[in-house]
């Protein structure tokens, strides 16, 4: 995605309490920032925030944090949040790779990943926001039994991601390869979703529940080690 520099974005963001430039100092204190005990949901790679501002308007009893690396897009999240007087939204300009330093165990109750870059080239697949390396970061702060909701236009990314979630011990609780023709009724469209669906591209959508802090591979290894130990003991 090509981003055009906007010199006015950062000064606009710096003067607003909704934008958090020191997020690592607030690890474990996010409830204090919102001033209530409501659940906290994240959107990773929120872009201009069409989705997160709509869901924040619909669910005033949930706190939302919009995350993206570019001030140039986040400034539009801020404008929408202020136009709609949304007090249940905060904005963090950060690379998602660093989120392990921002949130502590159980602090987050849902993650949305909408239309992240598909990175089809094998060498770059580790940059996918659903790659196991990222899922392991999320598991450090996502409360057990909480969900990750994932939408994409990209078939290969979706298929690979189904396996990534499985490998990391998430349970698939819903999946469709054509969201807009599916039985799922509560969909809130994102900016990229509108763009892709207007081109006739089917939207893929999955919900995955965080069931275990260890990956499937680790569980299998542990199981085998226990079996060997038991066999040797008797």
Give the residues lining the site for ligand SAM (CB under 6 A): 1, 45-47, 68-70, 73, 95-97, 114-117, 190-193
The residue among 131, 69, 146, 138 whose CA lies nearest residue 104 is 138
Closest CB to ligand SAM among residues 124, 226: 124
How near is the Cβ of 95 to ligand SAM at its closest, in Å? Answer: 4
33, 142, 150, 157 from 147: Cα distances, Å: 23, 8, 10, 19
Closer residue to ligand SAM, CB minimum distance, 147 or 193: 193
CB of 192 to ligand SAM, least distance (A): 4
| Shortest distance in whole angstroms from residue 30 CB to ligand SAM | 18
Strand 40-44 relative to strand 108-114: parallel, antiparallel, unpaired? parallel
Q: Is 198 or 233 the residue whose CB approaches ligand SAM more closely?
A: 198
Which residues pair with residue 150 across a beta bridge? 113, 206
Q: If we measure between CA atoms, which residue out of 212, 122, 125 comes closest to residue 161?
A: 125
User: Where does the chain show beta strands of DSSP type E?
Assistant: 40-44, 63-68, 89-93, 108-114, 142-152, 170-176, 204-210
Nearest distance from residue 191's CB to ligand SAM, in Å?
4
Residue among 117 and 125 whose Cβ is closer to ligand SAM: 117
Q: Provide the β-strand partners of residue 176.
A: 205
Q: Measured from the CB of residue 233, what is the shortest distance to ligand SAM in angstroms?
A: 47
Cβ 29 to ligand SAM, closest distance in Å?
Answer: 22
C-beta of 77 vs 162, nearer to ligand SAM: 77
Between CA 163 and CA 145 the distance in angstroms is 19
C-alpha distances in Å from residue 138, one per residue of 3, 21, 152: 26, 20, 19
Is the Cβ of residue 74 or residue 162 nearer to ligand SAM in the bound state?
Answer: 74
């Amino acid at each position: 995605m090509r981003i055009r520099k906007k010199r006015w974005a950062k000064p606009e963001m710096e003067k607003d309490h909704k934008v958090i430039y020191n997020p690592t100092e607030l690890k474990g204190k996010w409830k204090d920032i919102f001033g209530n005990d409501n659940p906290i949901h994240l959107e990773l790679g929120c872009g201009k925030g069409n989705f997160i501002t709509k869901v924040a308007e619909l669910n005033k009893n949930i706190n939302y944090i919009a995350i993206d690396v570019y001030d140039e897009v986040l400034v539009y999240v801020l404008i929408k949040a202020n136009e709609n007087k949304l007090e249940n939204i905060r904005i963090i300009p950060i690379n998602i790779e660093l989120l392990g330093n921002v949130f502590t165990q159980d602090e987050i109750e849902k993650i949305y990943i909408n239309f992240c870059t598909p990175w089809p080239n094998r060498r770059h697949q580790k940059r996918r926001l659903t790659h196991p390396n990222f899922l392991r970061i999320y598991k450090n702060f996502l409360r057990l039994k909480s969900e990750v909701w994932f939408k994409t236009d990209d078939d290969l990314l979706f298929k690979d991601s189904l396996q990534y979630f499985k490998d990391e011990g998430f349970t698939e609780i819903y999946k469709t390869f054509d969201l807009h023709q599916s039985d799922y009724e509560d969909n809130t469209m994102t900016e990229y979703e509108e763009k892709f669906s207007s081109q006739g591209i089917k939207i893929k959508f999955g919900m995955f529940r965080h069931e275990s802090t260890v990956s499937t591979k680790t569980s299998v290894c542990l199981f085998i080690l226990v079996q060997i130990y038991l066999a040797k003991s008797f």
